[in-house]
Homo-oligomer: A and B are copies of this chain.
Amino acid sequence: MKESLTETCVPARAQPGVQRDGKLRHVVESQQFTVPLLMELFDRAAGMERVVARGGSLDFRNKIMATLFYAPSTRTRFSFEAAMHRLGGSVLSTEHAHSFSSAVEGEQLEDTIRIIGSYCDMIVLRPIEEGGAKRAAQVSPVPVINAGDGDGGQHPTQALLDLYTIFRERPLDGLRVAIIGELDRGRTARSLAYLLAKFDRVKLFFVSPPALRMRKDILDYLDEHGIDYEIEKGIDRVIGEADVVYLTRIRPDRLQGDSLKPYVIDSSVLRRMKPDALILHPLPRTVELDGSVDADPRALYFRQAKNGLFVRMALLTMLLE
C-alpha cells in the first residue's frame, strides 16, 4: 500500500470541518480516507458481521441519526437506517425531503443542517446539488455523511463498501479493475476510482461510449498520483484480463439498442472473464447486467449490497464514538 498517500487526507484549510485532529469527523468524499483509516474501517466492518450474527447491539441506544434525502433512494437509506438500528440507535427519516423554496435553496441547506444538527447526533445527507455535502459539513454541529451528492458528485460510502467487498476476496495492491457504464455521471464510479488510487500498482480501465466517459477531474487526479489507466470504448479488449468487473447502471435514455451491446454483461461474456474475476454492481441495474449472471459464483453484487450494512455500521461507530 502507498503509505505516502496518507497526505491525501485533505488538510483542514481545504475542507473546513471535514477532519479534525486526525479523527474522522465528516464523510464527504472518498479521497479523504487514508489507507490506515480504510484498514481500520474494514477491520471494524468484519467485526460488525459478527455483531449482526449475534442479533445486533444496544451500544447506540441513546443516539439519533437523521437521514435527509432530497432525492429518494430506498436501498441506500434503508442500509444506513438498518445499520443504526442494528447498533441500537434511533432514526429520523425523510423519504423525499423538499426544500421550502428552490429559489433560496442555497441558503436553506445550511439553515436546515444547523437546525437538524441540533436535534440529532449525525446526519446522512443526499443533497440535490453537487457539493451539498461539503457545504453541510462546514456548518453542521454533528457529523455529516455524504449519501450521494448530485449526478457528478460522489457517493463515498458506496465506494467504501465496494472496496470492502473486493478486500474480503483478495489483496488490493496490483488489482486490475474495469469500470463500465455511464462514467460521466457515475458518482459511485468516481468515488471508487479515488479509493483505488490509494493502492500500489492498481490499473484501471474506464469503459464507456466516448460521450459518457470519465470526467477530467478524476483523470487529472490519477495522473497526479501516478495511477495507470486506460480509456476503452467497449469491454472486448479488457474483459479477459480484469480482476474486478465493476458495472454501473446505464439509463435507457442515454444508451439504447446496438450501441448498448459493448457494455452488457450476460452469460456469453461470462465465458471470456477470468475464472476468479469478481463481478460488482452498485445496483439497481437496468439492462447492462443480465439476470443470467446472478447464479455465477463470480457475481458478488448481492453480497456487496449486504456488505453495505456492515461497512456503514463500522462507519457510524467511527463517527459517533
Bound together, the chains give a CA A116 to CA B95 distance in angstroms of 15
Query: Does any Cβ of B come within 8 Å of A291's Cβ?
Result: yes
Min CB distance A289 to B, Å, is 10
Q: Is the CB of B92 within 8 A of A95?
A: no
Query: Does any Cβ of B come within 8 Å of A4's Cβ?
Result: no
Residues of B within 8 A of A287 (CB): 104
Q: Is the CB of A285 within 8 A of B107?
A: yes
Q: Is the CB of A283 within 8 A of B90?
A: no
Q: Is the CB of B285 within 8 A of A116?
A: no
Q: Is the CB of A283 within 8 A of B115?
A: yes
Q: Is the CB of A305 within 8 A of B115?
A: yes
Query: Does any Cβ of B come within 8 Å of A226's Cβ?
Result: no
Query: Does any Cβ of B come within 8 Å of A237's Cβ?
Result: no
Question: Scoring A residues 46 to 64 as 1 if CB is less than 8 Å from chain B, else 0, what string do you get?
Answer: 0000000001101001101
Number of A residues contacting the other chain (C-beta, 8 Å)? 51
Partner-binding segment picked from A73-81, A151-159, A204-212: A73-81
Q: Is the CB of B302 within 8 A of A119?
A: no
Asked, given contacts A112-B75, A116-B78, A119-B309, whether A286 binds B92 with beta carbons under 8 Å apart, the answer is no
Residues of B within 8 A of A20 (CB): none
Asked, given contacts A103-B252, A107-B291, whether A119 binds B74 with beta carbons under 8 Å apart, the answer is no
Residues of B within 8 A of A272 (CB): none
Query: Does any Cβ of B come within 8 Å of A268's Cβ?
Result: no
Q: Which of the residues B66, B82, B111, B302 comes within 8 Å of A78, measured between beta carbons?
A: B66
Q: Which residues A96-115 have CB closer than 8 A to chain B?
A: 96-98, 100-101, 103-104, 107-108, 111-112, 114-115
Query: Does any Cβ of B come within 8 Å of A26's Cβ?
Result: no
Query: Does any Cβ of B come within 8 Å of A284's Cβ?
Result: yes
Residues of B within 8 A of A103 (CB): 252, 286
Query: Does any Cβ of B come within 8 Å of A166's Cβ?
Result: no
Query: Does any Cβ of B come within 8 Å of A68's Cβ?
Result: yes
Bound together, the chains give a CA A141 to CA B90 distance in angstroms of 25
Q: Is the CB of A56 within 8 A of B62?
A: yes
Q: Is the CB of B119 within 8 A of A82?
A: yes
Additional A-B contact list (14), CB under 8 Å, known A75-B115, A95-B95, A118-B306: A56-B62, A58-B61, A62-B86, A64-B82, A64-B85, A78-B92, A78-B120, A81-B92, A85-B92, A100-B284, A104-B285, A104-B287, A107-B285, A119-B309
**7 A-B pairs with the lowest CB-CB distances in the bound complex, closest first:** A82-B119, A118-B306, A85-B90, A55-B62, A56-B62, A115-B305, A100-B284
17 A-B pairs whose Cβ atoms sit less than 8 Å apart in the complex? A66-B78, A68-B74, A72-B98, A78-B92, A78-B116, A81-B92, A82-B119, A85-B90, A93-B93, A101-B251, A101-B286, A103-B252, A104-B287, A107-B291, A108-B284, A111-B283, A115-B302
